[in-house]
Structure 1
């Protein structure tokens, strides 16, 4: 049922009021969440600072005790006198005891009229400074017992044990700004040792931090109602403002309905009649009759102009999109629909940012943008023109497909980088060949001419490493030429085990676990270039080890999928930024501080030379590399 304009205005007022209330409530809950989140952030910083300060003060007190003991011993005081002076010089110490080297108590001093809480025999005789426990005096204040070994002229004489008042330390560092919060100390079992104030049973927020050097946990607690109280003030003020503004708007709307809508009702009836007959049969010379005739001529003119504009719009070779102020598509021309194989119904009403990125309504020209339609991606450039009409403000976008141009530019760029890589590899290889040949010749001479067995073994090592380096040089030359040798049949299981064994020393040194699993028959083979497959696996597994932290593992899986073998190497490191995944195979691109940027580019080239594929993807934690090679490469 269609509502009248009057009814719609009243409905709009009701809707505005409802939206305001919902908006205020939404903001209220957002403010509550923000206040709680901010409290946790600030409380964690504060409780960590207090915890660190408490740990520092404990260490400072123990250092001060140690210093004063040495001072008084040089002055010739007895243990009883030293203990009495310690309790007078340090405000957080009131009593203490001295134990001989066997741990037996031989002296005790206290400024409190209480019985001794120091045991007759020490439970720990380690000659180091440590905390022995804690106790509460008759006033309810918490003390921690600290044991300090006594050395005189590097000779161990016994132990001084003193009680440090934790209440005094916490009062010195307890922030005065914590009006509603409480700070208390828990032991390792969660028992409350010390509380700065009494707390109620209401719901509260808590932040905690461990005190360094102890098993204590410092907890900061504040009532939930005190944290979110500013949100309730906002809600009350917002609701009052919303009610007052809605009432004022309702009064204005009522006056408009009384003064304007009666004349408009007559015009509405005649326009309805015109819509049926394309003529307004209003035999009237008043303002309404004149307005009706003018309206009829204006509509005829607009329809003719619309036909001209639509003809220009659809005749454009480039794609054209008409977008409203909200960024939603209103119309697409024929070239756009045919070029990207979409229907106008599937586009109209969609936000342009859903299929074009990056999108900015302020940008009048974008040299490059990504268009995604029908599961396909296109590279386009965009020009924008602002259009103002009686129906509102629109933006007309002209879209030109430059996908083929960008693909050609990328191909030329990669080819040039590979060419440079080949030239560098060739130059390095030629520079190393002569020194390697000289090293190999002299090593062979030493091996054959010397009668010293140890010298022969060392010469043998030099020869082996020189031959290995020569092989590496030969592989460098493969960057500059396409000769790969002859493919051979190899066992993928065995060659993977060999690579893992080769890298096991590096993994053990870094404390990274290499985990290898395979569901293939170890007797089955694959025809490929063995040295290329070995280099591919070495590079990928070595990168995974480099990306792993101590104690993490690298998973290597080998399995058969149809007519291919698949290797999956996964680490649990930091992974690679999504925007960098498309660049890692480019020559000289690296994220390592000491990397050359050639490793993965060679890996990709070797895999493609063997008609295979390699893919990288970030997992929830780490990076996964998938290598697939066919059983036959020719």
Structure 2
């Protein structure tokens, strides 16, 4: 509206300026001043767009300048009968939006007064010029225009009220929509499941924080490259195992739902902890069975074995038979160790807690193992023991844990290598890390390494790690394992400083590994 009124005013002024004779310099100057006034009104309109100024005052000043410009043009072009008097209507309509409906009626009244005064003045001139017959036409024009002013004010006021009501309703609706979007965003962001929206072409549309935490590469790569196999899966749920950026295997439960535009919604849930718990329950069931079996035969086997060992040691044999005698004694000792491991695995004792310096235990075990001729010269034991707080633990059981881990690490390196042992504080506990350069563990076997009797090493009993698992869980700790074939294995054990209700694990006890 403002731009249209300005264009009409400036256009009429330019046209009038061109039609005025060269000799009428004064009239040209008046038109130039009016043009400047119109441009100033346009500048005020631009200033009114700045929300930091008093828009109400600027609107009234702008209407006053409009009134002055239109009145000047009307007076210079036939007065009340000028065709440019119709521009008052545009200003009245604009005032309804600039101020309000009552303001537009006030503007219409002002314009009607001005036009009426111009009509009186022009009618007086008709009488003086002896042309009273032109008065009826003048009165008719002025009356119609005045009626048009008020009619335009009423209609524009009503339309403006409806427009403002609609704008307010849209603003309220937009505010409610924004609030709902924020609530939905917070709810989706707080979910422990990942939500991924994918376009029909496989590109990511959006993802909640949990999904980006599970798959950080989603922010920069197509979903098909990050979440393998989702395009080939039908609607419904499926489970997959993928490795995260920390190289740990994760069990993910995914479900796919189609969207109307050809895209899809993927729901992702990390069920790794649930699968570990299920595995631990199965392991406890197996350990319980092993315990019952071991308890029933251990003593029956150990008694005759002790007698056999004593008899062989007392036998006098020829020198050429001495190697056979040593073989028998070695095998008897191996069976004795197997029975000991069986009893420890089947009937673990509750930890006898006392202040324990884990660093001192590691140092003692490393020193003793380094003196073993089967290890010395073939395996190098390196320690990096940072200052760690004293913890409440059973020192004998922790010594067994460290010994078993170092023994496994040394035996896995058939061609020798380095075993690294690290100790440090972590949270409200301590962490022991044992890393070797051995043959590694296949991914398919990682889930079974803590099962009793599971071993891939010739001569192994398969009970060493089962004992480690029992002791660590009895102390309220956790075990993390990372391994790659031909690249070595890392065992990380975390133990709390103050275990809560430490007990020997049973088939009903469940603790994180």
**Bin for the TM-score computed over the shorter chain:** 0.3 to 0.5
Q: TM-score, normalised by structure 2?
A: 0.43
- Which structure would you say has the larger Rg? 2
Decide which structure has greater strand share: 1
